[in-house]
Amino acid sequence: MASFSTQMELDAAVSDLWSRRDGLDAAEWDRLYELVCSVLKPYRPKELGSLPEDRQVYIDDFFADKVLKSSASPSVLFHAGAIRVFYRNYLLDQIRELTQHKKYFVSAHRDDCDEDPKNGADQLRDESAAAFAELAEHGLTVAQTAQSAKAFLLHCEAWVPVYLAFNFCPDKPRSETLQALAQRLRIASYHHKASKLGINWDPRKVSSQGKGFADTVLGRWICDDLQLEIRPENAEAILDIFKILCFEALNWREVQEQEATP
């Protein structure tokens, strides 16, 4: 990566790319990732001491959650140092999430043990009436949505189910970072692909300006195949669709892992 002779040049480069995140091409996404890493790698806030993973994991997660997802952070960045502030706030959120997980893990685990075990299909069927009520309001059923999700995963580009099954859908302990996936499977321009897919968009914050979720791979599937418009008032139904899509993607992952086991 080219060095900057002054802090002002670095600030200008980061600010320019940051403000254009809705329209960056693959090379520009890679460049922004390099710049963000160059700012955060030397930065060692005390909050890292309270978190279990290596700091690169949190840098990558921060980039995926707060930089790629333009709705999750300010649209204007006046200097590169502001990234450290956003990053530290992100780490504080991770600490709170970890604390909550530890607080409730034992009781939740005890409750789970008291219940009869069910496989994922049984759970999806049992929860469909209540958990997916928003779908019914839009004329969609769980079975119809699941069938559409299976077809989507079957016919999409090969990297799409990989992103969903190994990064976006699993619980955090089983989720691989985009960088780790790219290195393991040699996926080129992986930041750009995440933006293209739509996993960095929040459907609850749909904007009428710039490139929106409706223009992404997931957004077009929801609009074209499921005939659901990408509007803020449809956010809960879209999140239900994500839940069903992830159920199918994780099933796909299990099949892949079983086939890979000798």
Per-residue pLDDT, 73: 76
Per-residue pLDDT, 245: 93
Per-residue pLDDT, 223: 93
Most confident range (mean pLDDT) of 95-99, 116-120, 148-152, 187-191 is: 148-152
Residue 158 has φ and ψ, to the nearest 5°, of -60, -30
**How far apart, in whole angstroms, are the C-alpha atoms of residue 130 and residue 122?**
14
Per-residue pLDDT, 132: 78
Per-residue pLDDT, 100: 53
Nearest to 195 by CA among 180, 173, 210: 210
Burial 34-44 (b: 16+ CB within 10 A, else e): ebbbbbbeeee
Summarised one tens digit per residue, pLDDT across range 76-126 is 777 888 898 889 888 888 887 666 544 433 333 334 444 444 444 455 444
Summarised one tens digit per residue, pLDDT across range 158-168 is 889 999 999 88
Angle at 194 between CA 234 and CA 156, to 5 degrees: 80
Residue 83, number of CB atoms within 10 A of its CB: 23
Kindly tell me if the per-residue pLDDT of 141 is higher than 50.
yes
Mean pLDDT, all residues of the chain: 78
Least confident of 65-79, 216-230, 245-259: 65-79
- Amino acid code (one letter) for 245: L
Report yes or no: 14 and 80 within 8 Å, Cβ to Cβ: yes
Per-residue pLDDT, 74: 79
pTM above 0.85, yes or no: no
Tokens matching residue 61: 């997660």
DSSP sequence for 186-239: T-TTHHHHHHHHTTT--GGG--SSSS-GGGSHHHHHHHHTS-----GGGHHHHH
**2 burial type by CB count under 10 A (0-12 exposed, 13-18 middle, 19+ buried):** exposed
Largest CA distance in the chain: 64
Kindly tell me if the per-residue pLDDT of 262 is higher than 70.
no
| Residue scoring higher pLDDT (174 or 120) | 174
Q: What percentage of residues in the chain have a pLDDT greater than 90?
A: 17
Per-residue pLDDT, 171: 84
Report yes or no: 189 and 32 within 8 Å, Cβ to Cβ: no
Most confident range (mean pLDDT) of 17-21, 74-78, 254-258 is: 17-21
pLDDT band at 260 (very low <50, low <70, confident <90, very high): low
Q: Where are the domains of the chain?
A: 7-98, 118-260
Kindly tell me if the per-residue pLDDT of 37 is higher than 80.
yes
pLDDT band at 151 (very low <50, low <70, confident <90, very high): very high
DSSP sequence for 117-177: P--HHHHHHHHHHHHTHHHHHTT--HHHHHHHHHHHHHHS-THHHHHIIIIISS-GGGPPP
Per-residue pLDDT, 261: 65
Per-residue pLDDT, 131: 64
Q: Give the mean pLDDT of 207-217.
A: 65
Q: What percentage of residues in the chain have a pLDDT greater than 70?
A: 79
